[in-house]
Amino acid sequence: MVDESWSPPEVLVTVDLVILTLREASLHVLLVERGVEPYLGERALPGGFLNNAGEGIAEAAARELREEADLDGAQLHLEQLGTYGKPARDPRGRVISVAYLAIAPGLPEPVAGTDAAGAGWEPVEDVLAGRLGLAFDHRQIVADGVERARGKLEHTALATAFCGATFTIAELQQVYEAVWGVELDPRNFYRKVQKVPGFIESAGDERKATKGRPARLFRAGATTVLHPPLVRPDPATEEERQ
Amino acid sequence: MVDESWSPPEVLVTVDLVILTLREASLHVLLVERGVEPYLGERALPGGFLNNAGEGIAEAAARELREEADLDGAQLHLEQLGTYGKPARDPRGRVISVAYLAIAPGLPEPVAGTDAAGAGWEPVEDVLAGRLGLAFDHRQIVADGVERARGKLEHTALATAFCGATFTIAELQQVYEAVWGVELDPRNFYRKVQKVPGFIESAGDERKATKGRPARLFRAGATTVLHPPLVRPDPATEEERQ
DNA sequence: ACAATAGTGTCTGTGAGACAATATTAG
DNA sequence: CTAATATTGTCTCACAGACACTATTGT
């Protein structure tokens, strides 16, 4: 370390949340409208400062999840995404942000946050394409979150976190298609998913769709890591098809 | 956020490094002996406080890499691993640590750090098994770093970062075997590695081993992501063999 | 009946792993 | 020559993807 006379600088730490969900078969992220400077009035990720008390970073993330999105961190998938500390990222001074990724099943309607002026789900595509500007470096954080989710869908049962307590295989497929941005063959997907031990388990009864034969219902299984993994189709392979 | 009258708490931020290398065909991590309280005299990861000036977190990691291990961050693989902020992890007060993972090729001998009392490479196995105790929560950080490296070997060209400028395929195989802790078939590995476009490229001449036929030399290719990936053998498949 | 979706069966090419065979060096 | 390692060749089995086909509902 360094000599005792030197005193290290103190910095402010915020926790920001990338909360993803599926709405109308496309990926959405929860954004709030900032009620204070800086970036007043602009869209930003929900988040806030780390509390004084003996609050761990993960606890702070769960607290913000509760305060700003009214979601229960204990029930949801919540994992650390990364830490962002570029010197000039916050005009207030030396602020670094620890970002967390949360996955929520489809929710009824725009969640009204307690803190933020207004909260609402926005299409991830609009954010990534820059059609919707975000405060700070939050666009980059969203991009990292989506990329993380895409990768984890392959090797973990994360996709079930987008669904409700029970779901059909077609619904599960829509999750993969929306997050990966690809189309999958329903028949191959059907067998493939069921072949992974512990991924999903039957929930007994049936459920009717608006049209066609009713589908079986399933719930998430005990397994969190998928053996074998569900690999997403290689875009390079598509080109070969000519 | 919160009302303006409330003032968020300031915390101290350290940057810690998990520097991995290969020595005698097994994975080693760089550790220093702490010269100050707390944990004086115990082993710990190299690291230090974030500087006052406009120093980004990644820059701080590169600086520590230079100061404590005399390695050039621009040449090495250096990526953020995660942020650790349990309230009681540091007796000095509210300190959170941003951990970085660095991969270094086999180096001549114990690197003498400038700051730390003593520095040396220790087998990762000793740390993970608890035979060698570490300060703070550094054992967990090492475990996370090794796990990250294992996964990245599958999908990225990270393995070449363990090697020198040129290397044989057998040496590359030793990297995979040491990090994954498995044995691989040299013949299948040989073809598999060469089939991945851009992973490795020939370096022309030859080089003799102590015994046997001399092996071709290769250098790292331009590709960083492997298509197709090198999947590590599924341990469940081994049991089937009976 | 038809449309629409759920679920099953079958074929085929590719690729991974097992392992035989050949090449090239040192001693 | 033999030992040791590098490199190439070949076989086989499993599996992913394409897609025909059957099942079960609403209208």
* Total residue length of chain A: 242
Domains of chain B, residue spans: 12-154, 156-240
User: A140-150 b/e with 16+ CB inside 10 Å = b?
Assistant: ebbebbbebbb
Using the predicted structure, report yes or no on whether residue A10 has a pLDDT greater than 90. no
Tell me if A169 sits within 8 A of A207, measured CB to CB: no
Report if CB A212 to strand C is under 7 Å: yes
User: A35-68 b/e with 16+ CB inside 10 Å = b?
Assistant: eeeebeeebbbbbbbbeeeebbbbbbbbbbbebb
Mean of per-residue pLDDT scores for chain B: 89
Residues with CB under 7 A from strand D: A 185, 187-188, 192, 195, 206, 208, 211-214, 228, 231, 233; B 168-170, 186-188, 190-191, 209, 211-216
Interval B118-174: pLDDT, tens: 889 999 999 999 999 999 999 999 999 999 999 999 999 999 999 999 999 999 999
Q: What is the pLDDT of residue B210?
A: 76
Q: What is the pLDDT of residue A109?
A: 64
Tell me if A175 sits within 8 A of A162, measured CB to CB: yes
Q: Which of A100-104, A216-220, B90-94, B99-103 has the lowest mean pLDDT?
A: B90-94
Mean pLDDT for the stretch of residues B25-45: 93
Vertex B200: Cα angle to B195 and B201 (nearest 5): 100
Report if CB A216 to strand C is under 7 Å: yes
Residues whose CB falls within 8 Å of the CB of residue B238, separated by 6 or more in sequence, listed in order? none
Q: What is the pLDDT of residue B17?
A: 98
CATH classification for the domain delimited by B156-240, as one of 1.10.10.10, 1.20.120.350, 1.10.3720.10, 1.10.530.10: 1.10.10.10
Residue located via tokens 């010269």:
B35
Q: What is the pLDDT of residue B2?
A: 46
Interval B67-79: pLDDT, tens: 988 888 888 999 9
Q: Which CATH architecture has domain B12-154?
A: Alpha-Beta Complex (3.90)
Task: Please tell me which residue, A236 or A64, carries the higher pLDDT value.
Answer: A64
Residue type, A90: D
Q: Which CATH architecture has domain A12-151?
A: Alpha-Beta Complex (3.90)
- CA distance linking residue B92 with residue B85, whole number of Å: 13
Provide the pLDDT confidence category of residue A93 given band limits of 50, 70 and 90: confident
Mean pLDDT for the stretch of residues A50-72: 90
Q: Closest partner residue to B1 among A9, A48, A236, by Cβ?
A: A48
Neighbours of A196 (CB within 10 A): 17
A116 CB burial (10 A radius; 0-12, 13-18, 19+): buried
Contact B54 A88 (CB under 8 A): yes
Q: What is the pLDDT of residue B189?
A: 98
Mean pLDDT for the stretch of residues A69-76: 88
